Each structure stands twice: as structure tokens, then as C-alpha cells.
Amino acid sequence: MNSSDLERRLGYAFDDPSLLTLALTHRSAGTPNNERLEFLGDAVLGYVIGNILFSERPNDREDTLTLLRASLVRREMLADIATSLELGSALKLGASAASSGGHRRASILADALEAIIGAIHEDSGLDAARAFIQRHWRSAIDAAEMENLKDSKTRLQEWLQGRGEALPSYTVVATEGAEHQKSYEVHCHIEREAEPAVGVGRSRRAAEKAAAAAMLERLERLS
């Protein structure tokens, strides 16, 4: 696939084509590679999705918004979008990653999509990156409903069990407000992470789910 074909799929034409090339260059291909753009794109994606949810769902509480955002920025979602854009065929991989099917690997595809978001941001700014995210996440945002989301505590437990690791623990560290307006702050602890993930909610369970969602976001960024 040449760059013009890919740009048509992306719905965005780069003023600086070298940014697109860099965004598609996996670290296995050497340096420079897409890791810095991936870092930027991850931050931009989280902000834009959070801003969209905040604007479009004015009646949702913080814990609900946290869970929805986590579902929309998770690795599987990014990999699915990257696959629909046929990013795999455009990736620049090292010999080992290419021979092991790296162009189909969810983690590599997701990272490349985040890098493209970072590249668009660097090429044209936040508004262009927002337009790209709106275009390719719109149907997922419209379909996102709490009852269709798998419980984040269950997903975190399955993630850890799948790697033979101990289950998470949850600690209530603060409560605020009158009984009918109480807010809970919960810390989620796992063995591999020194720092807990924090969740806030109107009930202990909601706060635990928000903390689990935050931990899942962290783990998926690091893995």
C-alpha cells in the first residue's frame, strides 16, 4: 500500500510525509521509530475521548465516564480500528518481528495507530487529531453503553490470571459527603506495580470498578 492509499483510508493527508513514515516504523526496525509519537498519541487519544464523553454524556458520573473511556482506548479497540485501516501492510518492521507475524499483532497495530494520532497532532495540531479520532471512533462512541461493557474488575482479574499473577486487592482510602451523596476513593493494588491505581465513585463497587479500569489502562500501555 503506498502512502496516498493509506492517507485516503485515514482521511488525512500529511503536510510532512516523514511523520507518517515514522509513525509506521516499529522499534524492531531500529531508530528512529514510532515510540515517541505513540507516547504523544496515547495522551491525545485519552484526552479527546474523555472530552467527547464529557461533552456528550452530561448526566454520566465520573466512574461511568472512566469505564467508558477505558473501553474506547483499550488495545483491542485500537487494534480493530488499525486492522480496518489495513495498517499492518504499511508497517515497517525488523526482520524478526516481520517473520513472526508482527504486522498482525494487536499490540504493534495499536501502538502504530496511537503513533499516527501523535503524528497528525504534530503535523496539524489538536483539531486535526480530534477530527481523525471523531471519524474513526464515532460508531464505537455511539454504541458505548455501560450494560454492554464487561466489568472492569473481571477483565483485570482475567488479565492477571492469564499471566499467572496474583489477584488485585482494593482498599477504600477516603470517603466524603453526606450519606446520600457519599463519594468513595479506592486504590487498586497488584504485585507488579508499586503504585496503586485510583478510582472514585458514588459507591464502593463503582470506585473499585473505576480503579480497575485505570489499572487496566496502565497495564495495556506498558505491555
Catalytic residue annotation? 42, 114
Q: Give the residue among 172, 191, 188, 177 at the shortest CA–CA distance from 70.
A: 188
Coil vs helix vs strand at 94: coil
Hey, what amino acid is at 90?
Answer: A
DSSP 58-85: TT--HHHHHHHHHHHHSHHHHHHHHHHT
Q: Give the residue among 82, 133, 136 at the shortest CA–CA distance from 108.
A: 82
190: left (phi over 0), alpha (psi -120 to 50) or beta: beta
Coil vs helix vs strand at 143: helix
Q: How far apart are CA 6 and CA 1, in angstroms?
A: 7
Around Cβ 135, how many Cβ atoms within 10 Å? 12
Q: How far apart are CA 30 and CA 13, in angstroms?
A: 26
